[in-house]
Structure 1
Amino acid sequence: GVGRTVTRKSWLWAHDEPCYWVITKVKADYTAENMDHGRAWGYLTFRGKTEEEVREIDKVMYHDWRMVPKHEEEAFKKFIPVPEETIRYLPYPPLLRAMILAQWQKEGKPITEEPMIDLEKI
């Protein structure tokens, strides 16, 4: 129903961060035999990051969907993000590295460190 939280069993196994949909709209297919078909829309939170736009939930006919019980929703959604480690330096590709080392050797510069790309300069 609208306002409920649903998740997939496969997401629970694959990711440590919370992955779920909060349903905002449901349209049942009344022509289906047991009314077990239809479409649903909601907000996706995947790996702890919530999307800002409502969109249609895909793969709704898969059998691994689970509704999160109301009394467990708050704990299920609780997530403290771990700060992402930003990479500042990256090694040069092999050919470019060889060219830089050859240039340094030609200039008589001592080769004491590995040439690295400074990503903040880019």
Structure 2
Amino acid sequence: MLIKYVGRPSPWKGKTLYNIACNLKNRGEGRVVIRWSFANRYPEKCFYRLTKVEPDTTDPEFMRGSAWGLRVFRGKVYPKETKIETGNRADWRLIPREEEEEFCKLTEKDVYKRPEPPPREMTLPPLLGALYKQHLENKGESVEGPITVSLRLRRTKERNSATDL
């Protein structure tokens, strides 16, 4: 019999969190799991240390349930236990017990740093500054030193903000 698949292939490769937890002692309490898509998307570390997992026992494939854990997202450690909302996605990987300690150590490069905000002022390039000084002198105004222009920032639909003069 020929099987024909309809629709897009799933972007997730792996097992669900509940499927992993059901195969572990104490349902994975204290173990470290990662979402593979986060590991590929962010250079900083993202993982959960499981504190409680309750799989839905009526589901034979363990695709549903509830899970809680201590969250580390992009190197930021969240102090409170959080509910894991995406446990049903087949995107989870278990970190082996012998690699957990080394994996959970956070270094400088493992913590997200916000980019510096763009400057609010800038000096004009030399040629443009000379032309602007000449323009001001023709109007009768005198200017000393480099000319600075304040920048007006506006949000655009693109990812970064654009600057205007």
CA distance in 2, matches of 1:85, 1:31: 44
Structure 1 partner of 2:148: 114
Structure 1 partner of 2:71: 44
Kept after mapping to 1: 8 A contact 2:63/2:88? no
TM-score, structure 2 as length reference:
0.54
CA distance in 2, matches of 1:21, 1:4: 8
Paired letter, 1:42: G
> 2:108 aligns to what SS in structure 1?
coil
Kept after mapping to 1: 8 A contact 2:65/2:88? no
Shift of 1:60: 0.9
Kept after mapping to 2: 8 A contact 1:23/1:40? yes
CA distance in 1, matches of 2:143, 2:114: 32
CA distance in 1, matches of 2:56, 2:46: 26
CA distance in 1, matches of 2:49, 2:90: 18
Runs of 4+ with deviation above 2 angstroms? 33-37, 82-89, 105-111, 113-117
CA distance in 2, matches of 1:88, 1:10: 28
RMSD between superposed Cα atoms in Å? 3.0
> Gapped runs of 5+ residues in structure 2?
1-27, 122-131, 152-165
Query: Sequence identity of aligned pairs in percent?
Result: 30
Closer, same or farther in 2 for the Cα pair 1:36/1:49, shift >3 Å?
same
Structure 2 partner of 1:97: none
1:90 matched to 2:119? The reply is: yes
1:71 matched to 2:105? The reply is: no
